[in-house]
């Protein structure tokens, strides 16, 4: 037999992607570390023996592939990926291609590419977004590496990818080296931030007196306006609707500890390393970290120190619609600000590492199939197509800023003054907007002088060129 590609790893993502590719007319060889999983998978589909073929041993799996062989790895990122590559390469020949689809750090993908290419093999790092449903019906793909390698696998990947409204497949070659994995990292960082924004909106609504049913209805009304239509809003509505058998909200009994797989943290670290301000992305990571300190939070809450305001707060009543309008504007701007930070990070990392990312093409791949998909991706794509040198994505949304910024400030002020609700990303996003639209930062002027006082670091002036230092009195 002769298979067009192979897939290693038949977990949720691997099995669904194998079905997706096989249904597009390709013959797919599949392999899993435990052969029982392969047998189980093939027993669930009529495609077995027709376009899906399973193998127990690496040598048989590799022998079934058309040369140059194309193998997609869908196992756990990190050590499991390296172990799989080590076992697989023993059976491959020069010019064969390994595609790693895991949530890998882009620097790790660069290392893998160098090691494999030194031995005559070829490598592509390619992130996937869309989860189980995306893998089955069409996800977004984020490849990066050597262009010639991409051209070899392109027909298969484009066929399996989600299609945007204009028919374009949600995949583009992002650039050299670890470009694809870098894009996937910051895709995930944006996902962290926007999921947290919707969670904070839910939190405000509940504390303001709305039931879960009320919240689901209000969010549906927001969706119907069109601007915020997105997959992440859809899943938040489903969370609000979810009930126990008793009829009580499921959200009330879920343990408040948020897991993560590392990509958000890596993105925050890389942003800090290259000096790009990304407070919303960072705050989303920190929010997850604080959630993990459940025991400490419980102990702190029982130590007798009251942090709750003395009077309970509710916006239910005559001011309900006015408050919800403010919250809607805040949500719009916080989401745009989070995307702005994500794209600024990609721009700077592209400069530092020479990936060759074409930002409009990359943004366009988010429009369907992936977690970030939503209405906003289309005007964002068009904004960078119209002006590749746009200083910041926020500048492409003047009406949203003009109509909503004061409402955003008013909402945050009221909630902060009258409740103990924590709004890390909504707060950080407003800080980002206020700061990045300030031509002069007085606090930065003061800190520059403080550094000169204690360390004689010098400072620059607005009215004169060069480095300056003031004659300060001795204070120690």
> Reduced to 3 states, what is the DSSP secondary structure of residue 99?
strand
Give the pairing of strands 52-55 and 28-31: parallel
309 pLDDT above the threshold of 80: no
Residue holding tokens 């702190």? Answer: 300
Distance between alpha carbon 350 and the CA centroid of its chain, in Å?
17
Distances (CA, A) of 371 to 91, 231, 432, 441: 36, 6, 24, 36
pLDDT at 207: 93
pLDDT digits (tens, 9 = 90+) for 340-381: 999 999 999 999 999 999 999 999 999 999 999 999 999 999
Look at the pTM and tell me if it is higher than 0.85: yes
Per-residue pLDDT reduced to its tens digit, 248-306: 999 999 999 998 878 999 999 999 999 999 999 999 999 999 999 999 999 998 998 88
Mean pLDDT of 13-20: 96
Q: What is the pLDDT of residues 456-473, one digit of tens each?
A: 999 999 999 999 999 999
The string of pLDDT tens digits covering residues 34-54 is 999 999 999 999 999 999 999
| Residue range 402-426, pLDDT digits in tens | 999 999 999 999 999 999 999 999 9
pLDDT band at 450 (very low <50, low <70, confident <90, very high): very high
Q: Quick check: is 418 catalytic? A: no
pLDDT above 70 (res 310): no
Token readout for 213 is: 């049913």
Letter string b/e over residues 369-378, b meaning 16 or more CB atoms within 10 A of that residue's CB: bbbbbbbbbe
Do 346 and 182 form a contact (C-beta atoms < 8 A)?
yes
What per-residue string of b and e applies to 4-36 under the rule 16 or more CB within 10 Å gives b? bbbbbbbeebbbbbbbbbbbbebbbbbbbeeee
From the candidates 70, 176, 191, 218, give the one annotated as an active-site residue: 191
191 is catalytic: yes
Q: Are the beta carbons of 362 and 173 closer than 8 angstroms? A: no
Please report the pLDDT score of residue 63 as a whole number. Answer: 96
- The confidence score (pLDDT) of residue 5 equals 98
CB 280 within 8 A of CB 436: no
450/446 Cα distance (integer angstroms): 6
Please, is 202 exposed, middle or buried when counting C-beta atoms within 10 Å of its C-beta (0-12, 13-18, 19+)? buried
Q: Give me 165's structure tokens.
A: 């409204």
Strands, sheet with 5-8, edge to edge from the N-terminal-most edge strand: 52-55, 28-31, 5-8, 70-73, 97-100, 122-129, 140-145
Confidence band for 110, pLDDT divided at 50, 70 and 90: confident
Using CA atoms in the order 468, 471, 474, 476, what is the torsion angle rounded to 10 degrees? -10
Q: What is the DSSP letter of 394?
A: G
In sequence order, the 6+-apart residues with CB closer than 8 A to the CB of 99 are: 70, 71, 72, 73, 123, 124, 125, 126, 143, 153
Choice among 37, 70, 176, 184 that is catalytic:
184
The answer, yes or no, to whether residue 1 has pLDDT greater than 70, is no
Mean pLDDT throughout 60-83? 94
The closest of 459, 450, 412 to 434, measured between CA atoms, is 412
pLDDT at 336: 98
pLDDT of residue 311: 67
Distance between CA atoms of residues 391 and 394, nearest Å: 9
Q: If you average pLDDT over residues 183-195, what whole number do you get? A: 97
| pLDDT for residue 176 is more than 70 | yes
Mean pLDDT of 148-160: 95
The confidence score (pLDDT) of residue 78 equals 85
Three-state SS across 290-358? HHCCHHHHHHHHCCCCCCCCCCCCCCCCCCHHHHHHHHHHHHHHHHHHHHHHHHHHHHHHHHHHCCCCC
Give the model confidence (pLDDT) of 213-236 as tens digits: 999 999 999 999 999 999 999 999
How do residues 64-75 score in pLDDT, each as one tens digit? 999 999 999 999
pLDDT, averaged across the chain: 95
């Amino acid at each position: 037999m002769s298979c067009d590609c192979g897939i290693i790893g038949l977990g949720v993502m691997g099995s669904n992607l194998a079905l997706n590719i096989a249904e597009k007319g390709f013959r797919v060889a599949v392999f899993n570390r435990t052969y029982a999983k392969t047998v189980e998978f093939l027993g669930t589909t009529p495609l077995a023996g027709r376009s899906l073929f399973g193998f127990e041993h690496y040598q048989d799996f590799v022998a079934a592939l058309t040369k140059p062989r194309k193998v997609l790895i869908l196992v756990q990122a990190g050590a499991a990926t390296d172990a799989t590559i080590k076992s697989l390469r023993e059976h491959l020949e020069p010019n064969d291609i390994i595609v790693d689809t895991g949530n890998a750090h882009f620097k790790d993908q660069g290392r893998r590419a160098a090691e494999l290419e030194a031995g005559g093999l070829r490598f592509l790092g390619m992130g996937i977004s869309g989860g189980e449903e995306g893998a089955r019906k069409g996800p977004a793909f984020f490849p990066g590496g050597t262009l010639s390698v991409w051209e070899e696998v392109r027909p298969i990947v484009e066929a399996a990818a989600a299609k945007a409204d204009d028919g374009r497949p949600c995949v583009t070659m992002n650039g050299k080296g670890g470009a694809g994995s870098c894009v996937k990292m910051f895709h995930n960082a944006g996902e962290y931030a926007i999921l947290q924004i919707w969670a904070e909106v839910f939190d405000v609504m509940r504390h303001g007196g709305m039931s879960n049913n009320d919240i689901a209805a209000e969010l549906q009304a927001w969706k119907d306006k069109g601007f915020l239509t997105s997959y992440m809003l859809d899943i938040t509505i489903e969370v609000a609707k979810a009930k126990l058998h008793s009829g009580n909200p499921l959200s009330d009994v879920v343990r408040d500890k948020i897991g993560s797989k590392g990509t958000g943290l890596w993105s925050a670290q890389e942003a800090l390393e290259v000096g790009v301000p990304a407070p919303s992305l960072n705050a989303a990571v920190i929010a997850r970290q604080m959630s993990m300190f459940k025991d400490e939070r419980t102990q702190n809450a029982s130590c007798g120190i009251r942090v709750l305001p003395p009077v309970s707060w509710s916006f239910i009543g005559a001011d309900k619609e006015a408050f919800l309008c403010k919250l809607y504007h805040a949500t719009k701007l916080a989401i745009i600000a989070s995307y702005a930070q994500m794209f600024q990070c990609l721009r700077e990392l592209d400069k530092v590492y020479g990936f060759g990312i074409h930002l409009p093409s990359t943004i366009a791949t988010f429009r369907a199939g992936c977690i970030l998909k939503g209405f906003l991706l289309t005007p964002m794509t068009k904004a960078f197509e119209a002006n590749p040198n746009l200083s910041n994505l926020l500048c492409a949304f003047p009406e949203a800023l003009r109509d909503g910024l004061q409402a955003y400030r008013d909402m945050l002020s009221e909630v902060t003054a009258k409740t103990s609700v924590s709004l890390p990303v909504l707060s950080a996003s407003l800080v980002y907007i206020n700061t990045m639209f300030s031509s002069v930062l007085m606090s930065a002027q003061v800190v520059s002088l403080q550094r000169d006082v204690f360390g004689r670091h010098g400072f620059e002036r607005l009215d004169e060129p060069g480095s300056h230092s003031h004659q300060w009195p001795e204070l120690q």
